[in-house]
Amino acid sequence: MTLSALSNTTGRLSGVLLLLLSLIAGPVSANPEVDLHDLTWFVHVDLIDPGAGEDLAYWTNVIEESVERGNRLLVGRNGPADNACCTKLANSVSVTTFGSTGDGLDVIDSLADQNAIAGTGGAGSRAFLVDSLTYCNGSSPTAIGCAVLPGCDGNGNDDPNLWMYVTVEAFDDGTLASVIAHERGHNACLQHVATPKCALMQATVFTPGLGGCLTATECTRMRDARTEASSGELCPCLDLAGDPLTDGAKCDDAGGICSGGCCGSITGDAGVHLLASADPGDAGLAPEDMLRLSAYTGDWTNLGQISGTADDVRALAYSTDADVVYGIVPTVGDDRVITIDPATGLSTATIGQIANGTDEFVSLAYDPGATSSPADDRLIGLEVSTGDTGELRAIDPASPNTASLLGGLGWTPASAFSSLAYDPTLDKLLFATPFGPNGLWELDLGSCPPSCSPSQLPGDGAFWTGASMTWSPESGMAYVVGTAFSGAGTRTFYNVIDPATGSTMETLSLDRFTPAGLASVPEPGLALGLLIGTGLLGALGRVRRA
């Protein structure tokens, strides 16, 4: 047997309900059975600190939540390079403590420590949570996980006495879910790989998260490493061939629908899909195609070229009142306002031309107004001028040949604020930027005019280059797609953001593409008007500004 360490980088980016469900495609009866990995977990006693609220129940919850998120990486898809894989780690985990106070095994920094871990807990697959590590079959000062990598013969559970250890450092970095899935991959005989950039088995985790991409061979080996001969559990959003069912398909009777191969709640990210004007290549080309993304797993497909003339669509916003996507095509002498079919992602018409010379709109947000009528809707755009100064402007979709001034953006370079989202429940604009420590900024529109001065949300968070952003009334979350790092190391990251706090709820490294505009669109068939009386209306209904 050999061992493999996963290293970290210092870089960061970061009645009626039944009627509703009947509108969503029913489940396919033939689903594959989960190949289950049932691990026994151990937490070092020196991590137990009841006074700080970190008792065994706390760490058990941390592990279970991380396992659940890691399972989405395994089962779901991150994009065309990924294979959905019907294998999971057991969600309800058995957790106990190991070691003794002050024995030093909360930090694995020697062969003796490693051997002590290997000899703890008896037979079976075991996982250990420690504070940190600097040793994994040799010096590994930046490692955040380590696991036995056995020789496998393809038989299920052919080497059951395996172990791995992961760190609180990974939890603090927001990467524990992907580290757990990665290290179990080593237990399943998976080696480190360099490509694709969303690969689960990369040797270095790009904070704040690995992707979940697995090849077909990696998936087979991961399934062969199961610990249960028959789990009795099915993957409700995969067919027997292992392919994801259509997004929006019903997957349980509690309001669950399929998204990216996983079953999620209608009122959460699974009830949302995203449209991104982007180039799906790897060379930073113009965003002339439309991609459809699962807001639950980051899975994406290319819907094709947005228009017959390969327009460079720089900004998108979806109108909930008119059920149409608006886009901005910047050109020399004017910017064209176009409409896009939210179902196909294709341009349907040019509805306006804004004569703004060399100025360009780089981002767009949608304000639904105070009523459900499109008459009081407006689009809010950031227009960038020569010298990289910017102005926020409002566009009336009914007369989109002019853009009225809301106020000047009090920051330079304005082009760094390349994304906009409007949250009507909080009546504020959100921006995603490359400026740390938290790349999320907010603006109270009541502070404009003459100058609009956004402020950075507190705390640490992701920050992006060339980000696109949107807000969804279905989930109440903001979504960001952007790139980080540069050159051959450039990654495309997908983030779910709590707009009230600026906290990053989820980050995935996706199969690479170059993003531009982003719009949030509800899953087809989710008839929100039918939710009256179900208790879900408050979660899904829009709240409008006064």
3-state secondary structure of 540: helix
Q: Quote the tokens at residue 145.
A: 């996980």
Rounded Cα distance between 208 and 508, Å, is 8
pLDDT exceeds 60 at position 13: no
337: which strand partners? 328, 352
CA 78 to each of CA 73, 85, 171, 363: distance values in angstroms, whole numbers, following the listed order = 8, 12, 22, 25
For the ranges 96-100, 207-211, 465-469, the one whose mean pLDDT is highest: 96-100
Q: For all residues of the chain together, what is the average pLDDT? A: 87
Q: Please list the residue range(s) of the chain that carry CATH number 3.40.390.10.
A: 2-224
Crossing angle of helices 216-224 and 176-187, rounded to 10°: 80
Domain at 276-540, CATH class: mainly beta
Q: Are the C-beta atoms of 208 and 460 separated by less than 8 Å?
A: no
Tens-place pLDDT, residues 484-521:
887 777 889 999 999 999 988 888 889 888 889 999 99
**Range with the lowest mean pLDDT among 60-69, 442-451, 523-532?**
523-532
- pLDDT for 504: 87
The length of the chain is 546
- Nearest CA to 320 out of 372, 363, 362 is that of 372
Domain at 2-224, CATH class: alpha beta
| Location of structure tokens 């009777």 | 253
pLDDT exceeds 80 at position 27: no
With residues binned 3-state (H G I as helix, E B as strand, rest as coil), the percentages for the chain, rounded to 5, are 15, 35, 45
Amino acid letter for position 47: L
